[in-house]
């Protein structure tokens, strides 16, 4: 009896019991709602199930990175939306991070004009709805670009006009695939060296110049590999024929507008995250760096930014998740992402709202969890405290 009471009074056992109760209750509610919805749909004569994913789509998509054609299945149409969403979100995250980092630094600049301009930009962005940015980029920025015959030329190989950005495309990607393999192997080598350097420093107290090594393995080697591959790859260069450019690959105006709006809008929020992280660095650390004779650039690169990362990374994760979710605003300008294609075109074609909404939510949840897991791993790698 005493053993049983001790077992019941154990805090870990009580916590596990109540967590199990909550989990079972939530699962029961979900089963109840699903069965209730299913019964109501049967009574109303509404089709249910996921067999519709195998039907022929018949929907034309203007921006496709997969092998999709209108004769493909609705599942293939869904994959087009997923790929287009991941593309615009990934590129927007990179551009917004770079732009936000420099704007955040500019806000802390001793130059009054630079600091004021950066502050005005941040305050403007943070008080304007994202939909305004999307429509502004699509209607004003892209709409103001010249016609194809007066396109803005980029090194005479890419051309920007009001119909999008036309870029060269490789006719044989063998060399580029080998370059990608070299880049991946070089990055894996850098990871292995970083782990070895950490273990060596922990055991012997001696360190390796891992920063200089990373410059070679993570930057110079991949750039050299892709540079050599690009020189050896045959390219299809766009050429003006008639009223438009032929050949190459066209980044449609909707993609350019959504990319520009997401990058410039999120950069304002990331700038505040960066500014707060830098200001959270103890002044004594910066003064110590200056006392050692480090220049302002060295202090920023070797002391301020590494120390600020422990504060910056957690809120930065939220901004990255916002970019992923805000990509759904592409539906406002007919960019073919998940919401526009699947919850718009596919829903109109099939009428199976519950299944389509459930699949869309599951996809956004899955992508969001992947971003969160990666940022949590990165945050753990950058933390200053080892547990």
Helices 253-279 and 305-326: angle between axes, nearest 10 degrees: 150
Higher pLDDT, 90 or 43: 90
Burial of 240 (0-12, 13-18, 19+ CB in 10 A): middle
36 and 100 assigned to the same domain:
no
Of 241, 264, 248, 236, nearest in space to 140 by CA: 264
Span 359-372, pLDDT tens digits: 899 999 999 999 99
Instruction: Specify if 232 maps to a domain.
Output: no
271 and 347 assigned to the same domain:
yes
Q: What is the DSSP string of 287-310?
A: HHHHHTT--HHHHIIIIIHHHHHH
* Mean per-residue pLDDT, 233-249: 82
**Residue 116 to residue 101: CA distance in whole angstroms:** 16
Of the chain, the end-to-end C-alpha distance in Å amounts to: 39
Looking at the structure of the chain, the number of domains it has is 2
Span 105-158, pLDDT tens digits: 899 888 889 999 999 999 999 898 999 889 988 888 888 888 888 888 888 888
Q: What pLDDT, on the 0 to 100 scale, is given for residue 5?
A: 59
Backbone angles phi, psi at 153, to 5 degrees: -90, 135
Backbone angles phi, psi at 152, to 5 degrees: -80, 120
List, in sequence order, the alpha helices (H) in the chain.
Answer: 2-9, 11-43, 74-107, 112-126, 130-136, 174-204, 210-214, 221-232, 253-279, 283-291, 296-299, 305-326, 338, 347-350, 353-382
**Residue 312 to residue 278: CA distance in whole angstroms:** 8
Instruction: Specify if 62 maps to a domain.
Output: yes
What average pLDDT is seen over the chain? 84
* Mean per-residue pLDDT, 169-197: 86
**Residue 318 to residue 15: CA distance in whole angstroms:** 29
13 and 83 assigned to the same domain:
no
Span 41-56, pLDDT tens digits: 667 666 667 777 888 8
315 and 376 assigned to the same domain:
yes
171 contacts 235 by C-beta, under 8 angstroms: yes
298 and 329 assigned to the same domain:
yes
264 and 372 assigned to the same domain:
yes
Q: What pLDDT, on the 0 to 100 scale, is given for residue 41?
A: 66
59 and 35 assigned to the same domain:
no
8 and 124 assigned to the same domain:
no
Instruction: Specify if 49 maps to a domain.
Output: no
Instruction: Specify if 359 maps to a domain.
Output: yes
280 and 345 assigned to the same domain:
yes
Tokens 């020189």 correspond to what residue?
231
360 and 307 assigned to the same domain:
yes
Q: What pLDDT, on the 0 to 100 scale, is given for residue 352?
A: 79
Span 279-327, pLDDT tens digits: 888 888 877 877 877 777 777 777 777 788 888 888 999 999 999 999 9
104 contacts 274 by C-beta, under 8 angstroms: yes
**Residue 345 to residue 125: CA distance in whole angstroms:** 32
How many residues does this entry show for the chain? 387
Checking if the pLDDT of 1 tops 70, the result is no
pLDDT band at 385 (very low <50, low <70, confident <90, very high): very low
Instruction: Specify if 218 maps to a domain.
Output: no
Three-state secondary-structure class, residue 384: coil
Instruction: Write out the residue range of the structural domain in which residue 24 sits.
Output: 2-44
Instruction: Specify if 205 maps to a domain.
Output: no
**Residue 243 to residue 343: CA distance in whole angstroms:** 34
Contacts of 153 (CB under 8 A, 6+ apart): 159
284 and 378 assigned to the same domain:
yes
Instruction: Specify if 165 maps to a domain.
Output: no
**Residue 384 to residue 387: CA distance in whole angstroms:** 10
Three-state secondary-structure class, residue 167: strand
28 and 114 assigned to the same domain:
no
Instruction: Specify if 353 maps to a domain.
Output: yes
CATH of the domain at 62: 1.10.3720.10
């Amino acid at each position: 009896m005493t053993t049983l009471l001790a077992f019941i009074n154990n805090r870990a056992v009580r916590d596990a019991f109540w967590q199990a109760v909550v989990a079972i209750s939530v699962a029961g509610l979900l089963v109840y709602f699903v069965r209730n919805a299913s019964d109501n749909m049967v009574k109303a004569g509404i089709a249910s199930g996921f067999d519709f994913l195998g039907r022929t789509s018949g929907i034309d998509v203007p921006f496709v990175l997969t092998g999709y054609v209108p004769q493909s299945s609705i599942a293939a149409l869904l994959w087009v939306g997923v790929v287009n969403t991941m593309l615009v979100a990934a590129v927007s995250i990179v551009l917004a991070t770079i732009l936000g980092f420099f704007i955040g630094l500019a806000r802390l600049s001793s130059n009054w004009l630079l600091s004021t301009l950066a502050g005005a930009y941040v305050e403007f962005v943070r008080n304007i709805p994202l939909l305004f940015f999307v429509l502004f980029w699509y209607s004003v920025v892209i709409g103001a670009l010249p016609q194809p015959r007066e396109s803005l030329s980029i090194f005479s190989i890419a051309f920007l006009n009001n119909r999008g950005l036309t870029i060269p495309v490789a006719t044989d990607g063998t060399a580029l695939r080998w370059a990608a393999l070299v880049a991946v192997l070089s990055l894996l080598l850098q990871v292995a060296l970083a782990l070895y350097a950490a273990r060596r420093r922990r055991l012997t107290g001696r360190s390796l110049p891992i920063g200089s090594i990373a410059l070679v393995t993570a930057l110079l080697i991949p750039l050299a590999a892709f540079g050599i591959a690009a020189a050896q790859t045959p390219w299809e260069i766009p050429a003006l024929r008639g009223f438009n450019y032929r050949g190459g690959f066209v980044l449609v105006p909707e993609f350019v507008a959504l990319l520009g709006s997401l990058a410039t809008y999120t950069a304002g929020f990331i700038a505040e995250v960066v500014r707060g992280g830098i200001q959270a660095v103890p002044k004594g650390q910066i003064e110590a760096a200056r006392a050692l004779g480090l220049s302002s650039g060295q202090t920023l690169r070797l002391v301020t930014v590494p120390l600020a990362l422990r504060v910056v990374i957690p809120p930065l994760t939220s901004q990255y998740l916002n970019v992923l979710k805000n990509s759904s605003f592409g539906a406002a300008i007919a960019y073919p992402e998940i919401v526009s294609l699947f919850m718009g075109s596919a829903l109109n074609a099939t009428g199976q709202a519950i299944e389509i909404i459930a699949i869309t939510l599951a996809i956004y949840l899955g992508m969001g969890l992947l971003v969160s897991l990666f940022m949590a791993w990165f945050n753990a790698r950058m933390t200053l405290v080892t547990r």
